[in-house]
Amino acid sequence: MKVHPLADVKSKDIGEGTRIWQFCVVFAGAKIGSNCNICAHVLIENDVVIGDNVTIKSGVQLWDGVRVEDNVCIGPNATFTNDLFPRAKQPYQLLGTVIKKGASIGANATILPGVTIGENAMVGAGAVVTKDVAAGAVVIGNPAKVVRKL
């Protein structure tokens, strides 16, 4: 494991060969697999699990409840949410998000809470994912719609 000296990494549950670059924040409860590349300016909260061989590009925040399986690529500034009805200082109900093995998420895509991105699916840049994406599907647009199968 290689952690840049300007990263704030509290988790001890990080696999071999993983690289975490500058200005990242990784909370103590986060779990990160082996051979991952966590690029600069990424935030990973406590209740996040990341598999092996995952690339997370700059500007991504993974909030509590996100699960990322093996061989996933998350593009720069992809946005995840975990609260369907956010309000300041109010009770909330967090919903988990699952990114299945081999999926790719394009730059600036927005993933709403509670969805699952299927195995080997691809979310196009800038897409807004409001519901589950089937395995092998390619989705684009707002809201994201299937344009083909891989």
| For residues 33-62, average pLDDT | 98
What CATH topology corresponds to 1-150? UDP N-Acetylglucosamine Acyltransferase; domain 1 (2.160.10)
**Residue 147: pLDDT above 90?**
yes
Average pLDDT, rounded, for the chain: 97
pLDDT band at 41 (very low <50, low <70, confident <90, very high): very high
User: What's the pLDDT at 89?
Assistant: 83
Average pLDDT over residues 24-34: 98
Beta bridge partners of 67: 49, 98
Residue with tokens 């600069």: 40
Q: What does the pLDDT look like over 81-135, one tens digit per residue?
A: 999 888 888 888 889 999 999 999 999 999 999 999 999 999 999 999 999 999 9
Q: pTM for the complete prediction?
A: 0.96
Burial environment of residue 139 by CB neighbours within 10 A (0 to 12, 13 to 18, 19 or more) = buried
pLDDT digits (tens, 9 = 90+) for 132-146: 999 999 999 999 999
pLDDT at 91: 80
Bond preceding residue 86 cis, omega within 30 of 0? no
- Whether the pLDDT of residue 2 is over 90: the answer is yes
> To which residue do tokens 């993974």 refer?
62
